[in-house]
Copies of this chain bind each other. A is one copy, B any other.
């Protein structure tokens, strides 16, 4: 089996959410797994000097329209959360703490965070809210709350974000097929073709 795809995303990104709904199945059709790697785009934007899309004049309004249109077209459950952007630091740390112990649980947790924020519109910025999501999955909320605050967990999230920047990630979702970079939920079609053909 070839190397897993690397799926970089920020829980605050709606396009990362859309990609999260289909990327595992897409990869599986071509015998590939996917490594999910939440990062903090805020750190990336400090390098690129770019404002988050939703804060850019003109673009912010379009973003709401485009995401809702995308959701209607694909049938993805979606709403515009009241609190944006999500502060994803606790959710991302909790993810990495879980992923080091149980990758399947971490994957379910990531999907539940995305669903809670982008399908139900909940603000999951607080650690307590993150732990609450984990608890609904039958995970040990107390252990996760403690684990998310361990220095090694915090460092892991920083390392993943730094590594993403070093690989050229400037937005989300950002997906590597081997070393080939694809930016954006709207490149999933090309990723499928890339996997089919082995590049072009």
**Cβ-closest chain B residue relative to A169:** B58
Q: How many copies altogether?
A: 2
Interface centre among A47, A72, A168 (most CB of B within 10 A): A168
* A30 contacts chain B at the CB level, 8 A cutoff: no
Residues of chain B lying within 8 A (CB to CB) of residue A66: 183
Residues of chain B lying within 8 A (CB to CB) of residue A168: 58, 61-62
* A151 contacts chain B at the CB level, 8 A cutoff: no
Interface string of A39-58 (1 = CB under 8 A from B): 00000100111110000111
How far is the CB of A46 from the nearest CB of chain B, in Å? 10
Interface string of A139-152 (1 = CB under 8 A from B): 00000000000000
A82-90, A112-120, A186-194 - the one binding chain B: A186-194
Interface centre among A44, A61, A72, A186 (most CB of B within 10 A): A186
A169-200 CB contacts (< 8 Å) to partner B: 169-171, 181, 183-184, 186-187, 190, 193, 200
Q: State A170–B62 Cα separation when bound (angstroms).
A: 9
* A104 contacts chain B at the CB level, 8 A cutoff: no
Q: State A56–B72 Cα separation when bound (angstroms).
A: 32
Q: State A59–B48 Cα separation when bound (angstroms).
A: 8
* A163 contacts chain B at the CB level, 8 A cutoff: no
**Cβ-closest chain B residue relative to A185:** B186
Residues of chain B lying within 8 A (CB to CB) of residue A183: 62, 66
Chain A residues within CB distance 8 Å of chain B:
44, 47-51, 56-59, 61-62, 65-66, 69, 72-73, 165, 168-171, 181, 183-184, 186-187, 190, 193, 200
